[in-house]
Structures are given as C-alpha cells and as structure tokens.
Amino acid sequence: MNSRERVRKAIHHQKVDRIPLDLGSTMVTGIHASTYAQLREALGLKKEFIKIIDPFQMLAEVELEVIEKLGVDTIGLWLPTNAFGFKNENWKPWNLFDGTPVLVPEKFYTRKDKEGNLYIFPQGDKSVQPCAKMPRDGYYFDLLIRQEEPFNKQSLNPEEWVKQQYSILSEETLVYLEKKADELYKNTDLSIIGGFLEASFGDISHVPGPAIKRPKGIRDPIKWITAHLEYPEYIKGIFELQCKIVLKNLQLSYQAVGNKIDVIYVSGADFGTQNGPFISPDMYREFYQPFHQRINNWIHKNTPWRTFFHSCGSITAFLDDFIAAGVDILNPVQTSAKDMDPKMLKEKYGNELVFWGGGVDTQRTLPFGTPEEVRREVTERCKIFGEGGGYVFNTIHNIQAKVPIENLLIMFQSLKEFKF
C-alpha cells in the first residue's frame, strides 16, 4: 500500500499493512519548532531555518524529506491565513527563546516588555492591543482576553460576534486551496488532511478573537462557558449563524478540492478536563450536537471525506452522542484522562470511531519517561488500537518543546518495528 491507500483503509476500519503515521497534518497533531529542529539534526538532515506554520503554538512545517525519512502517511492542507489573522507568506528569520532559528511570516510582529515577555498583534497591526503573549523563555503564545466592553443581555448581538469572527471563503483562498490540493495530490502519495478553520465549528480558541483587532461581545472563555447558562439564546444564535457559514464554506471547499482530501477537521472544541466532562452531556446535546449533526450529515451526503473531531480530556460521557452526531474520527484520545482506558475505548467504540492519536502520553511518558518506557507504551497502544484497522498513530496532542530526542526517535522506531 502507499500512504494514501493505507490511511483510506484505516479510516474505513479496514486492515492495513502497517499502522499509518501522522505528524504535522493538523494543528493538534504537530511538533514544536525547537523539537523539530533537533529531530531534523538527529535524522542527519542539513541544518536550516525551521518554518513556523502555526505561530500560535509555534508548530513547525513538517517537510517532505522528514516525511519520507520517518514514513509519515499524511500531509495537511491549511488555509493561507493563520490564527492571528495574517498570511503565512514572505518569510523572515527569527529566533525562539532557546536560540532555535526559525522563519516567521512577514506580519509576525512582536513587542517585548521590561520583563522580557513577548506580545503579538492581530493581523500584524501594532496600533491595536496585542492578542497573545509568550512568557519570557516560553515556547508558545497564550491568548489574551480583550473584553473591551461590559455586556448585558440587551447588548449581546450574535450577528456582530459572527461577523467579526467568520466569513465566507474568498475566491483568492479557494484558488489557493485548489492549486495546493492539486499539487499535493499529484506530487505525493500522501493522504491529504483538510484544515479549513472557516469550515470548522465551535472551537473555544476562537472566542478571544486572536485575529480580530477590536473584538466585541463575550470574549472571555470563562464567561463564554457560563453564558451557556446565563445567555443561552446568545450562544445558540452565534452557533446557528456560524453553522450556516460553515456549511457554505464546506460546499465551496469541496468544489475547490473535491475528492483529493480524505479527512476534514470539523471541531477543536474541548469537552473534557483531566478528570471529567467540561460541560454536561445534556448541555452538549442542547448546544452542540444539533449543529455537529447538520455539518456531518452534509459532509457524508456530499463528499467521501471522514470527519475529524478533536477534544482533549475525559470525554467518555460524550462518545455515544458523538457517534449519533456522525463523528468519524476522534483525536487526541487522551488516555491519561479519567475513564479513557485504551482497551475500553477500542472494545466499546472501535467499530464506530477511528482513533487518531493516543500513541504515547505527551504529559508524562514522552517528555519524562525513559526510552524503554516510551517503547513499551507505543507498542501497547499499537496492539490495542491497531487491531482490525480504525487507527492512525499520533501522540496525544502536539509534540512539545524539550522532549528528549532519544524518546522521540524510539517512538518512531517502535512504531516502525511493530507487527500485528
């Protein structure tokens, strides 16, 4: 099998010759730039600037030479504009706090305060308040809350919030997606994963409005969650309008890229904490499930794509509802969270859900374990999740900075050596 065939079989719960590997195809399956630089060096590749494809999390663009070296089976097709609202273009050199040389987009402008913290600006506009902060000696940006105006029930306007946050994909963007999809499809045999944020739904990281110069409405994530109880019609109004835009953007995206992509990133909303659900299952059914179902139904009716849902934490309480809503793929499969036992997940949900992740714990094992502990965990997860297909290997969320390179190498080696 080539990579595209391998992933397509895996996401349709068919047996594969080996477990497919994802590295860097989405914003939640990537690798931090500093660790990626060390990985390149360990693979014997020429030292060079690392391109930052996601400046929010400082994720590296995983290049084709690394994909080939490691046997990665996927590649991402992303929008040309990043989370901070400026295009990934006209690259310029920059250094991470740890000295790693990287390339950042032209409008990646930062300001340093007297403590050494870095601030970045929406759309690269230094005349407005910064939208995110990288603490001194930190590795990625934390979004800042810019709740500029007090609000009450009368002042909350769903149309205003959505108009600031979401829009129909432009002709320029659609042409870019069409050309890029065609290039990746013709020049590689990799499975292409679509990450079109304007065609995704409900991600709480959008709430602070990192791409908006002067965000209005509820922009504090805590207030956003409590608004589900305090201002339910406001939240539902936003979701209704957003869903209409998402459906239109999915239609336009499919016209642009057609069957060249295999998977579409639909949701990045986290419904779980380390120890249990973030919201109640009843609240999920009331606020999210109807829209998830509409989106998934459109995708399944009109495309061959499989739907990719990312939710961290303990989310067992939602899995039956996810399945009822038409979710195909679950990521990151946080087995370190409460009630997320790998064997239980595979036995109970493995016929309906594809597990994309769960390969090794990025909170403890990968950064702090021994190489042998990494090998043992990777092998165990491959045995559990890989049986009968329905599994794509990835770490539990992105590979972070300061991961020992020997642990990373043994992770890839253990996957390569695994036999059913």
Contacts for 237 with CB less than 8 Å, ≥ 6 apart = 158, 159
- Integer Cα distance of 269 and 33 in angstroms: 24
Reported as a pLDDT band with limits 50, 70 and 90, residue 139 is very high
Which whole number is the average pLDDT over 251-271?
97
Selection from 147, 144, 191, 201 nearest residue 326 by Cα: 201
- Integer Cα distance of 321 and 309 in angstroms: 13
- Integer Cα distance of 9 and 15 in angstroms: 7
Q: Which letter does DSSP use for residue 14 in this model?
A: -
Q: Is residue 22 assigned to a domain?
A: yes
pLDDT at 144 > cutoff 90: yes
Q: Is residue 228 assigned to a domain?
A: yes
Q: In this predicted structure, what is the pLDDT of residue 235?
A: 96
Q: In this predicted structure, what is the pLDDT of residue 95?
A: 98
- Integer Cα distance of 335 and 212 in angstroms: 35
Q: Give the count of alpha carbons within 13 A of 14, CB side only.
A: 9
Tell the burial category of 186 from Cβ atoms under 10 Å away from its Cβ (0-12, 13-18, 19+): exposed
Q: Is residue 214 assigned to a domain?
A: yes
Percent of all residues in the chain with a pLDDT value above 70, rounded to a whole number: 100
- Integer Cα distance of 30 and 23 in angstroms: 6
List, in sequence order, every beta strand (DSSP E) within 320-389.
Answer: 329-331, 354-356
Q: In this predicted structure, what is the pLDDT of residue 384?
A: 98
Reported as a pLDDT band with limits 50, 70 and 90, residue 251 is very high
pLDDT digits (tens, 9 = 90+) for 25-35: 999 999 999 99
Helix ranges (DSSP H) in 261-338: 281-287, 289-302, 319-324
pLDDT at 149 > cutoff 90: no
- Structural domain including 372 reads 3-90+147-417
Q: Is residue 120 assigned to a domain?
A: no
Q: In this predicted structure, what is the pLDDT of residue 155?
A: 87
Q: Is residue 304 assigned to a domain?
A: yes
- Integer Cα distance of 5 and 24 in angstroms: 19
- Integer Cα distance of 384 and 194 in angstroms: 27
Chain centroid offset of residue 250 CA: 17
- Integer Cα distance of 330 and 391 in angstroms: 10
3-state helix, strand, coil in the chain (%, to 5): 40, 15, 45
Percent of all residues in the chain with a pLDDT value above 90, rounded to a whole number: 95
Q: Is residue 275 assigned to a domain?
A: yes
Residue 83 near residue 17, CB atoms below 8 Å: no
- Average pLDDT, whole number, for the chain? 96
Contacts for 63 with CB less than 8 Å, ≥ 6 apart = none
User: What DSSP letter does each residue of 93-146 carry, written as one string?
Assistant: EEE-TT--EEEE-TT--EEE-TT--EEE-GGG-TTS--SEEE-TT-SS-EEPP-
Q: Is residue 98 assigned to a domain?
A: no
Which whole number is the average pLDDT over 344-361?
98
Angle at 367 between CA 361 and CA 373, to 5 degrees: 65
Lowest mean pLDDT among 192-206, 284-298, 372-386, 401-415: 192-206
- Which neighbouring-strand residues pair with 309? 267, 330
Q: In this predicted structure, what is the pLDDT of residue 360?
A: 98
Q: In this predicted structure, what is the pLDDT of residue 143?
A: 97
Q: What distances in angstroms separate CA 62 from CA 37, 41, 66, 80, 420, one per listed residue? A: 10, 14, 7, 16, 28
- Integer Cα distance of 235 and 104 in angstroms: 35
Q: In this predicted structure, what is the pLDDT of residue 289?
A: 97
pLDDT at 88 > cutoff 80: yes
Q: In this predicted structure, what is the pLDDT of residue 82?
A: 96
- Which neighbouring-strand residues pair with 60? 52
Residue 269 near residue 278, CB atoms below 8 Å: no
Q: In this predicted structure, what is the pLDDT of residue 293?
A: 97
Q: In this predicted structure, what is the pLDDT of residue 147?
A: 80
pLDDT digits (tens, 9 = 90+) for 194-231: 998 776 788 889 999 999 999 999 999 999 999 999 99
Q: How many CB atoms lie within 10 A of CB 348?
A: 14
Total of domains in the chain: 1
Selection from 365, 362, 289 nearest residue 327 by Cα: 289
Q: How many CB atoms lie within 10 A of CB 286?
A: 15
- Integer Cα distance of 58 and 407 in angstroms: 21
Q: Is residue 152 assigned to a domain?
A: yes
Task: Record the pTM.
Answer: 0.97
Which whole number is the average pLDDT over 91-120?
98
Instruction: Report the CATH number at residue 70.
Output: 3.20.20.210
Reported as a pLDDT band with limits 50, 70 and 90, residue 356 is very high
Q: In this predicted structure, what is the pLDDT of residue 153?
A: 81
Which whole number is the average pLDDT over 317-346?
98
pLDDT digits (tens, 9 = 90+) for 273-298: 999 999 999 999 999 999 999 999 99
